Amino acid sequence: MVDSSEPKRRSPAIAINYDNAPPRNPPLLEIGVLAWVRKNLFGSPLDALLTIVGVVLVAAVVVGTIEWTIERADWYSIILNVDRFMTGRLPGAVVWRVSIVVIFIMVTAGVLTAAYVRRLSPVIPLLLLLIALTVVIVPALVRALLPVPPAYLAAGAAPIISGTAEETPLPAVAFLARQNETLVIDFPAFAADDAGLAAMHGIVDRATNTLRNAAANRLSDMARYVEVVTLLARDEARLTATGGEYGDLTENGRATLQRELERLAAVVPPDSADAVAALRARLAAPALTPSEIDSLRAELAALVVPPTVVDTYRLNGQPVTLRLLDGNGTPAADEQVLVPGTTEPVRFLIPADGWYILEKTLPAGAEGAAILMARGIAPVFERSAGYLRLSDMFQFPGAAPVRDDDSLRPLVLNENRYRGDRSLEAYLYLYVTNFLVEIQIAVVAAIAAAAAGYAMAQQADRLFSPRDVPRRASQRLALWLLIATPVVVFVFINGFDLLAYSAALAWVVAIYAAYQAGLLLYQRGASTLVRLLAGVLLLAGAGLVFSLLPALIYDLPPTPPAFAGLLALPVAVAGLAGAWIGTGAGAAELTRRVTRAGGLAALLLIAPIIAGRVLPGSTRDSIAAILPYIDPDTWGGLLLALFITIYGTLLAFPLGILLALGRRSSLPAIKYPCILVIEMVRGTPFIVVLFAGQLLIPLVNENFAAIPNAYRALGATVIFVAAYLAENIRGGLQSIPGGQQEAGKALGLPEWQVTLYITLPQALRAVIPALVGQFISLFKDTSLLEIVGLTDLSRTVTNMVAQTEFNDARREGLVFITIIYFVLSYVIAYISRRIEESGSGAARRI
């Protein structure tokens, strides 16, 4: 490159730098938060613009949502329906079974974490601890530090009128109170003028609310009157200026305003119509400056001053006589009088827990009304177990006191709502606290169970795991718990007669025993004929037992032969499989296994037979009552969603594997039906498959119509999920290099063993992320179960809105289920990510 004709480079002058300058800090804009902000938020003009737009959008949404949450949303809709959202219409008497299931699952989760998560980030236990503490401490703190939000009750005999609404205060109200509480009653300060009355917020009865509305309407009508007069006058001014060509308003607009003016003039009549007309003429002058208009409006406003609501009803101007009676109507304290102008409120000490009646009367013959601010009174909500006081969820059994003439009503939520924009204090006291109290026990128990499971697994490792496999004990434990979970969940949630479970267990053990017996035959070198004969014997024997069993236990008619045969088939198949697969175990060992398993199966079969024959009916009933059958139609909410999700995935798993293997089969008779099922289901929306489950299953056999709705939906779900799982698993199988299969074959493994022990396990590991995705999307899809008549979470919202108290609370319900869906999906996704990272999943591949 260098041209040789160029002059040689000059050798540089020698220079040595002895200056040893101390290091300086980088410019302020290059480090820390400022640098981050500059680089990431305002890197370029476009970035800056996007940042600002983004922040504004987020702020708008967040601020609006928070305002709504604190000031206006009716969270009692959620708090009082938490049980519905969790378990649906599950009878209260069996909720303990759900609790046991939840505890079991949380223990399993703790053990799994200890066994498989390589390094538990300290954030997780801290977060859980924080949640537990929050749930316990926040309610205590709020109740200790904040005053109980008062209830506002109106008194007086005359009706209170606002527009067309008319409401007479109740002479007496019933409320729940607890021993040693003090009921404090006073005149509220805000009731001194209409502005205060209009701006009030709190738990108010209907009469008080009418007063509040009257004051608010009066103020807005007054303002609107001035507004309308001004608008019409300015319109006139424009008309004059344009020689009648056009004004500020259209013909229609003008006519509407005229009508409105007539109405307002009737509601808020001005002192002098003539003065108004004069002012209106001055306002209609064509060229007025804005300040001139303003001063004219002020003059007009001064003319429109109808009597205040406070004066009309002589609000809080008269003494109120207060009597406290207990639930039976006998006086519980001396009568007291609340006198206007005194600073001392009236106080009543509550002698015992229970219902109380507050009678509030103005002097005889007095016109007008009073608003009382009562601390210690809160609305109640009726539950099947009694009434619930909504300030602190205090529950008292039994009915509320009433009087025949309807002069006494309990202070129910429906008629005593929170009106006006709530303060943060009231939000915390009435909603946050009570919500936390409702879920307190469940949350703390669940977290404690997870912690216990974690600790237990670690202890197990310390005691039993060999040094080179430090987590063997916990991993075994986790595996067993995982296998047990679906069984435990089913037994507890579905419930059944213990005798039936014993018989079912006998069936499982019998299958195992038959397999072992088959192995023994193989070991003995039995001929093909003998082995086949044994299979037939097993089929016949097991079929006989199963067909007679219901008759022997319950005196029911014998099972139809077809069904008994269906039950006996797996036993025979297991026996034949054992006889052909074979094992290297010795004859002695096999004989021991056969006798043990066979004995156990016999015991499990005979026990219920003996119990069924020998036990008196009452004892049998009490055995059956330990875990009585729960009608699946009562399942709902999260319980139903999780049931369908977990069992849908679990049962779809073997079916999905079979479909995937079938689709890879070289036999057209197997391959094409599998393709047909997979593609048909995948080409159909979930809703349609659900409907098909509902409508087609009864077509197969009329008796199937009796299968509970939830199980029919489960069947449809299983097929739906299996089709997708099949494709995932097939993808996983395809991703296994061919060398794996060759290596297996070269070792002499038959093809099915190559699949079972080599390709399938690897394929399943490779598809774990897809499986978790399936699981989560199924969980979210359970919101479609509503359509086939099941009470899933979204149907729960619909049902909730049907309650009179919560007619307007659809939004609250949707927000709540959104949170449930999101939190659970996120947690599941997070856990699966951690398990993958731990190397138990696909990461182990080379």
Partner 1 sequence: MAVQAPSQKVAVEQYEEAIIQCQGVNKWYGEFHVLKDISLEVAPQEVVVVIGPSGSGKSTFIRCINRLEEHQEGTIIVDGIELSHDVRNIAEIRRETGMVFQQFNLFPHLTALENVALAPMKVRHRSRQEAEARAMELLTRVGIPEQAKKYPGQLSGGQQQRVAIARALAMEPRIMLFDEPTSALDPEMIKEVLDVMKQLARSGMTMVVVTHEMGFAREVADRVIFMDHGRIVEQGPPEHFFSKDVEHHPRTQEFLDQILLSF
Q: At closest approach, how far in Å is the CB of 809 from partner 1?
A: 52
- Which of residues 709 and 741 has its CB atom nearest to partner 1 in the complex? 741
Measured over the CA atoms of residue 193, residue 199, residue 204 and residue 208, the dihedral's sign is positive
- Residue (of 485, 799, 816, 809) closest to 634 by Cα position: 799
What is the residue whose two structure tokens read 């936390």?
436
Q: Pick from 251, 344, 468, 555: which binds partner 1 (CB under 8 A)?
A: 468
Q: Verify binding: residue 817, partner 1, rule CB under 8 A.
A: no
172 vs 205: CA distance, rounded Å:
12
Q: Pick from 45, 244, 525, 584: which binds partner 1 (CB under 8 A)?
A: 584
Q: Verify binding: residue 118, partner 1, rule CB under 8 A.
A: no
764 vs 13: CA distance, rounded Å:
72
- Which of residues 765 and 780 has its CB atom nearest to partner 1 in the complex? 765
At 79, give phi and psi (nearest 5°).
-55, -45
103 vs 111: CA distance, rounded Å:
12
- Which of residues 557 and 748 has its CB atom nearest to partner 1 in the complex? 748
Let me know: does 459 contact 111? Beta carbons within 8 Å. no
Q: Pick from 585, 600, 815, 820: which binds partner 1 (CB under 8 A)?
A: 585
Q: Is 173 exposed, middle or buried (0-12, 13-18, 19+ CB in 10 A)?
A: buried
The interface region with partner 1, picked from 78-86, 357-365, 479-487, 745-753 by CB under 8 A, is 745-753
- Which of residues 118 and 844 has its CB atom nearest to partner 1 in the complex? 844
Q: Verify binding: residue 733, partner 1, rule CB under 8 A.
A: no
Q: Verify binding: residue 588, partner 1, rule CB under 8 A.
A: no
Q: At closest approach, how far in Å is the CB of 645 from partner 1?
A: 27
Q: Verify binding: residue 39, partner 1, rule CB under 8 A.
A: no
Contact characters 758-797, partner 1, x per CB under 8 A: x--xx--x--------------------------------
| Terminal Cα-to-Cα distance of the chain (whole angstroms) | 49
Edge-to-edge order in the sheet of strand 380-383: 380-383, 386-389, 394-396
Q: 636: part of which helix (H) or strand (E)? A: none
- Which of residues 599 and 761 has its CB atom nearest to partner 1 in the complex? 761
515 vs 12: CA distance, rounded Å:
93
Q: Pick from 464, 629, 757, 830: which binds partner 1 (CB under 8 A)?
A: 757
Q: What residues have CB less than 8 Å from 165, skipping those under 6 apart?
A: 210, 213
- Residue (of 549, 569, 568) closest to 559 by Cα position: 549
Let me know: does 286 contact 241? Beta carbons within 8 Å. yes
At 782, give phi and psi (nearest 5°).
-60, -15
Let me know: does 481 contact 138? Beta carbons within 8 Å. no
Quickly list DSSP for 704-719: GGGS-HHHHHHHHHHH
Q: Verify binding: residue 742, partner 1, rule CB under 8 A.
A: yes
Q: Verify binding: residue 34, partner 1, rule CB under 8 A.
A: no
Q: Verify binding: residue 740, partner 1, rule CB under 8 A.
A: yes
Quickly list DSSP for 340-364: TT-SPPEEEE--SSEEEEEEEEPPT
Q: Verify binding: residue 472, partner 1, rule CB under 8 A.
A: no
The interface region with partner 1, picked from 208-216, 231-239, 596-604, 735-743 by CB under 8 A, is 735-743
Dig out the tokens for 774 from the structure.
């399936």
Q: Verify binding: residue 531, partner 1, rule CB under 8 A.
A: no
Q: Pick from 750, 822, 823, 830: which binds partner 1 (CB under 8 A)?
A: 750
Q: Pick from 51, 99, 684, 753: which binds partner 1 (CB under 8 A)?
A: 753
Return the exposure string of 529-566: e unless at least 16 CB atoms fall within 10 Å of the residue's CB, then b. Answer: eebeebbeebbeebbebbbebbebbeeeeebeeeebbe
Q: Verify binding: residue 606, partner 1, rule CB under 8 A.
A: no
Residue 234: how many CA atoms within 13 Å on its side-chain side?
17
Q: At closest approach, how far in Å is the CB of 770 from partner 1?
A: 17
Q: Verify binding: residue 748, partner 1, rule CB under 8 A.
A: yes
- Which of residues 15 and 746 has its CB atom nearest to partner 1 in the complex? 746
Q: Pick from 56, 63, 606, 747: which binds partner 1 (CB under 8 A)?
A: 747
Site for partner 1 in 188-207 (CB under 8 A): none
Q: What is the 3 state secondary structure string of 501-523? A: HHHHHHHHHHHHHHHHHHHHHHH
At 75, give phi and psi (nearest 5°).
-75, -10
Site for partner 1 in 612-651 (CB under 8 A): none
Q: Verify binding: residue 19, partner 1, rule CB under 8 A.
A: no
Q: Pick from 72, 323, 745, 834: which binds partner 1 (CB under 8 A)?
A: 745
Q: Pick from 60, 743, 819, 827: which binds partner 1 (CB under 8 A)?
A: 743
- Which of residues 8 and 467 has its CB atom nearest to partner 1 in the complex? 467
Residues in the interface with partner 1 (CB under 8 A) total 27
Q: Verify binding: residue 272, partner 1, rule CB under 8 A.
A: no
- Which of residues 151 and 521 has its CB atom nearest to partner 1 in the complex? 521
Let me know: does 155 contact 320? Beta carbons within 8 Å. yes
Residue 846: how many CA atoms within 13 Å on its side-chain side?
4
Q: At closest approach, how far in Å is the CB of 581 from partner 1?
A: 9
The interface region with partner 1, picked from 373-381, 603-611, 737-745, 824-832 by CB under 8 A, is 737-745
Q: At closest approach, how far in Å is the CB of 610 from partner 1?
A: 38
Q: Verify binding: residue 524, partner 1, rule CB under 8 A.
A: no
Q: At closest approach, how far in Å is the CB of 590 from partner 1?
A: 11
- Residue (of 360, 334, 331, 410) closest to 186 by Cα position: 360
The interface region with partner 1, picked from 67-75, 332-340, 748-756, 816-824 by CB under 8 A, is 748-756
Q: Verify binding: residue 269, partner 1, rule CB under 8 A.
A: no
Let me know: does 790 contact 709? Beta carbons within 8 Å. yes
- Which of residues 128 and 526 has its CB atom nearest to partner 1 in the complex? 526
- Which of residues 29 and 756 has its CB atom nearest to partner 1 in the complex? 756
- Residue (of 632, 659, 653, 638) closest to 718 by Cα position: 653
Q: At closest approach, how far in Å is the CB of 518 from partner 1?
A: 13
By CB under 8 A, name the binding residues for partner 1.
Answer: 468-469, 582-585, 737, 739-740, 742-750, 753, 757-758, 761-762, 765, 844-846
